[in-house]
Structure 1
């Protein structure tokens, strides 16, 4: 193959499979940093070898094998200079005899997710570590998801890795008896992954399909392990949101708001599957926040047109959700629903109350919503100021273009 074609293929495999390969290497090596070094060495070797020998039938297995041998070389070099030579040589021997299959590579990502969400780790480190190692989000992307400083997130991740290594936390899916106590963190991680894919925090595109697809895959795996109502609710929520993906942007990649989307482009199959899961979860009467959010998404999906959306029902569901999970972001979403039901002034009053409390000051969607309601009310100067603030906080290119368009309309 030509050099350019090989590089393109290597880049494709990296995008699609690098985190699965990393998860397997972490399990085999028991060391995050060594596994990451081995991963990058394997891809470096692939560029040369695949050009000479051709792309292997199973690139993923080839890369795991190559990464393992690179790690063995590193451990042997370390053994020459360290007092812990016998331990390192024993680790090399164990690694040389390690066996795995392609099914292992597929399941290792779920194993790693549960490891990153182990109760022995600090609660504020579990989700950032999982997003970094399992999903390849950058520290900056994770910091924006948590409205936190990148340095703070980086410190949490480093401490969590050290804890896993020092405490020898196993890389395995917990037993059925242990699953419930670990479930909340794992559900939260999967949803954060989906959200980053559904509306990327920065970059040239609205959607990162690789992340939404992976989050849904993990949600389905979790359903097989533990078909609890909240697992059903989360999977339903992701499917219902994913059903709208094709209609969320124009052919040129421009953002299309929900009320302006062509609903004929919504995926009816995903809506049917998500709606059935919502009904199944709600009938248990043991539902929580994910089920309630999925129910809200289902109301949107069932409306033939934007004008026929049952906003009263959506506001009622947000009321229940707020009691279950108090959150300024949920308050913001409820405020938007109230504005649809009762008018822009009602929504604006609620949003200004949230901002006056000092909450969501650095959240661009809060300022965008405030700007939109000011625009609808003819409060042009306030709308311009709010859109300008939203633009300062927005890093995703299509969202920036949308806000810039609004500012141009306002003169």
Structure 2
């Protein structure tokens, strides 16, 4: 039994609530432990389990006599209900023993004592002592800003007070993501107070920040003139390697995007063994979810894409051999994953900036981004009169046609299709 569960990479405390108390606490109690260390999470969860089991016993003792014994048994057998994989197989805290009937005469719990800002902040800090200093600074600044607008004691706060703070932040024209983060900080403080029994409720929980009404930007393919600007830029002609461009990735990833139509994240998560030298069909690129940290958008996204002769002439296989000789595992080992763990996240931000600035490529149209290489590849497939069935297989698009759901696409037609594609721009040779 474990009170620690993993959900989307985060570690949570979770415990089932006795049936008679679900109107008070809900069916499950879940608390984000705000740590990725299983050992720290386990210790925090055991402490929370002890607190909650004691609280359940106290609450059950105040129930009417009818059905009390069943509820005492229920409390004694509480177990967590996983909504993710448990991070530890070690036993959790032993369930509390049923309380005696003499405790029925226990007087009702006293009203909670006043809660100070310092108490809540200290409790929040104790949950994760390894939290980044920048996060702690942001929390302190948010608390100070909140107290400049609202001086109510924590137990007396109402949801409207939090909404007023949110609306104030929006009025200052902060980015909505920033407003959401600050409201989240206040909610985290109140949740800590609620979990510790200092507050009766978290009135900030689930408060939304409305999205700004923005027109949808339709992505488009690159024009031949824009492609020429890209491949005539310093990254490709002057061996310019900015730190944020992640080494040679800044040159090879746009090329692969153009000649394969692969998505940014599909390219960024390639392993060296995903580049295959097939005796019959030549160099192939495999897109799969088989490796650790590899993901695909849909089941149809798993595919084999033959490599275009132009990227081979540009020296791509020499690059592959250089990386392999260095003992690396990833095809682009210098990529730095973003805070969500996406290997292409930070690269995508850099490429967006490089597209726009005059010292880079200087394309200001917001409709063109890295994904525009995928649009361009689809356009080139149609220009080469490649059947939809084949270019869908190359790009991992799934058709609704029943006949297309049977069998697999042979590699031969894919190779012929790739060789039929004529690029509108010559790819520069990149030294290994």
TM category (shorter chain) comes to: under 0.3
Could you say which structure has the higher strand fraction? Answer: 2
State the TM-score, normalized to the length of structure 1: 0.24
Q: TM-score, normalised by structure 2?
A: 0.24
Q: Which has the larger radius of gyration?
A: 2
